[in-house]
Amino acid sequence: QKEVEQDPGPLSVPEGAIVSLNCTYSNSAFQYFMWYRQYSRKGPELLMYTYSSGNKEDGRFTAQVDKSSKYISLFIRDSQPSDSATYLCAMSIITAGNKLTFGGGTRVLVKP
């Protein structure tokens, strides 16, 4: 079993819909949780990162962390075709050199 599980998709939604992404993890030691967006043949772009359980909002993006369930989510409101990309969750432990453990990524397609 992988440490971080993420549905590979593809997830296809119409423009303007809410995109809902999630990851589950097995290691309760993870402290920081991040979401990256990666376009084809490009490096990942950091969208958000959170530390504690709860919600964090930034523009159209909302990240949720539920440490008790070992479950994190990313919601994208008012989705645009330009949001079509692969979304990667990543987690880290400070005392482990802050190395990131990635989920496999979810491919999202927003149709105009």
Partner 1 sequence: GAVVSQHPSRVICKSGTSVKIECRSLDFQATTMFWYRQFPKQSLMLMATSNEGSKATYEQGVEKDKFLINHASLTLSTLTVTSAHPEDSSFYICSAQPDRNVEQYFGPGTRLTVT
Chain positions contacting partner 1, by CB under 8 A: 32, 34, 36, 41-46, 49, 88, 92, 94, 97-100, 102-105
Nearer to partner 1, 31 or 73 (CB): 31
Nearer to partner 1, 44 or 83 (CB): 44
Nearer to partner 1, 17 or 107 (CB): 107
Minimum CB separation from partner 1 for residue 16, in Å? 28
Distance, CA of 86 to CA of 66 (rounded, Å): 22
Neighbours of 88 (CB within 10 A): 23
Minimum CB separation from partner 1 for residue 84, in Å? 15
Tokens 């330009």 sit on residue: 82
Minimum CB separation from partner 1 for residue 1, in Å? 15
Residues 6 or more apart whose CB falls under 8 angstroms from that of 93 comprise 27, 29, 30, 31, 32, 99
| Residue 73: strand pairing partners | 22, 64
